[in-house]
Amino acid sequence: NAGVMQNPRHLVRRRGQEARLRCSPMKGHSHVYWYRQLPEEGLKFMVYLQKENIIDESGMPKERFSAEFPKEGPSILRIQQVVRGDSAAYFCASSPRTADGYTFGSGTRLTVV
Amino acid sequence: EDQVTQSPEALRLQEGESSSLNCSYTVSGLRGLFWYRQDPGKGPEFLFTLYSAGEEKEKERLKATLTKKESFLHITAPKPEDSATYLCAVQENPGRGTSYGKLTFGQGTILTVHP
């Protein structure tokens, strides 16, 4: 029973490039959440998705960031035109129902050079 | 806006020396309070969810309690393998602009247990 799978584990992008982070939820989980952990800061909520729907994107930056959870395949967090300030660990979590003890993945560490 | 404050920021214990971690919160309507453990380079690992004041939950050497303003994570006779960052998070009842999906995390307490 694989846990929440995130890939890649580490991603290096130059300023201005695009970053695509993937998250496969646990089997049977249809709710996905993305969080960001900036250096020296706590985990910050970004977005909550169900299959083909964005439920809550109140934590998403207004520009350059987007997320999707298609009917088939993993959830994708996409960051366009990355800047140094986007360097962080991005964690995905999933749950079978709304927010009862999510299971987190190991994260993708994005470094923008 | 929800606020979650954890103290102390760091705690160093000797093996077997029991102690408590604090999580103070301000939220308009608490649905749940979560405790997680995070090891370096890994994602948070779920420990407990507490829903109402007076509730307590235990797991091995850990016991979590909840009041209307704060939660405590008690660690009894800790071992070096308990060393980690412990995170507290609150989930608010959904309203305008919020959902059950959003957890607001504290900054964490870094626990180090020396043999």
By Cβ distance, the residue of B89, B101, B108 closest to A98 is B101
Give the mean model confidence (pLDDT) for residues A8-26.
97
Q: Is A60 at the interface with chain B, CB within 8 A?
A: no
Residues B4-44 pLDDT 10s: 999 999 999 999 999 999 999 998 889 899 999 999 989 99
Q: Measure the CA–CA gap between B113 and B62, rounded to whole angstroms.
A: 14
Q: Measure the CA–CA gap between B67 and B51, rounded to whole angstroms.
A: 10
Residue B56: what pLDDT? Answer: 97
Beta-carbon contacts of residue A13 (< 8 Å; ≥ 6 apart): A19, A82, A110, A111, A112, A113
CA nearest B95 in A: which residue? A56
Q: Measure the CA–CA gap between A71 and B40, rounded to whole angstroms.
A: 33
Answer with the residue of higher pLDDT: B109 or B98. B109
Asked if residues B28 and B94 have their Cβ atoms less than 8 Å apart, the reply is no
